[in-house]
Structure 1
Amino acid sequence: MRTVFALLFTVIAAAANAAPLPPAARTEVDALLTRLQSSGCEFNRNGSWYAGADAKAHLLKKLDYLEDKDMVKTAEQFIEKGASTSSMSGKAYLVRCAGKAPVESAQWLKAELQRLRAARAASAPAR
């Protein structure tokens, strides 16, 4: 019986340590992944090319893992720790858009993050 309680306590403690991204960061990550999905670009993971929807699904799984481990608090941290390289092979992810050479996903996502933030700042009411 003690073993059951100890196991239960461990599970509860681990769940209590898991923390989702702060709302502003989650909004940015969701917007980035939606842009990737709707961009028409392809995503390379371990030598195979995938459509944006498949890339989004994969990266959301990685985000869930990182959140469960309380490893991300910002969109930049998500890009660095989850959306740049394969955790299995260590190879960089790539993004290939029509008529352009592939670029590392970190570069593509960081550029899109800057565009998102610039658009948000431009639409913010003047103070």
Structure 2
Amino acid sequence: MKRRALLAAAALAVMARPAAAALPTRERERIEGLLEAMERQTDLQFERNGRRASSRDAVRFLRAKWERYGAEVDTAEAFIDRIASRSSTSGQPYRVCPKSLSCAEAGPWLRGLLQQLDERRT
């Protein structure tokens, strides 16, 4: 009986582990770097389902969404495609709105930011 309880507890611990922990280190670092770079852009607003939020609030939201749906993510590009590009509720694309520029779809914008970060690392 104790063995069953231990096995069940171990299974729950694995299931409760954040999805980010299962990623290869390099990909987790790329996603974290992307989110940190986005959060540093204080002149940026993030629009989802018609509502705008600060970059800080957007990053908080994307981290929560990553934790919830992260099992579908194995690369930074997959994070952008599956988590950070569109609403899983409405299907509408997210948009980024820098103060000095017009809004753009979040997916291509985040891919460009990721590319810049990757180029800096090499």
User: TM-score range, shorter-chain basis?
Assistant: 0.7 to 0.9
Cα distance in 1 for residues equivalent to 2:31 and 2:114 = 9
Q: For each residue in 1:82-107, what CA deviation from the matched residue of structure 2 results, as whole angstroms up to 9, or x when unmatched?
A: 00001111110000112211111101
TM-score normalised by L of structure 2: 0.82
Aligned counterpart, 1:107: 108
Cα distance in 2 for residues equivalent to 1:15 and 1:73 = 20
How many residues of Structure 1 are paired with residues of Structure 2 in the alignment?
114
Say what the alpha-carbon RMSD is for the aligned residues.
Answer: 2.1
Aligned counterpart, 1:42: 45
Unaligned 5+ runs, structure 1: 122-127
* Amino acid of the structure 1 residue aligned with 2:52: W
% identical aligned pairs: 35
Aligned counterpart, 1:61: 64
SS of aligned partner of 2:120: helix
**Structure with the larger helix share:** 2
* Amino acid of the structure 2 residue aligned with 1:38: R
Q: Which runs of structure 2 are paired with 1:69-88 in the superposition (5 Å)?
A: 70-88=71-89
TM-score normalised by L of structure 1: 0.79
Q: CA deviation at 1:118?
A: 0.5
* Amino acid of the structure 1 residue aligned with 2:45: E
* Amino acid of the structure 2 residue aligned with 1:36: M
* Amino acid of the structure 2 residue aligned with 1:95: V
* Amino acid of the structure 1 residue aligned with 2:105: E
Aligned counterpart, 1:16: 14
Cα distance in 2 for residues equivalent to 1:42 and 1:22 = 30
Q: For each residue in 1:42-101, what CA deviation from the matched residue of structure 2 results, as whole angstroms up to 9, or x when unmatched?
A: 10011011000000000001111123xx21110000000000001111110000112211
Q: For each residue in 1:13-40, what CA deviation from the matched residue of structure 2 results, as whole angstroms up to 9, or x when unmatched?
A: 4653665322111111111111111112
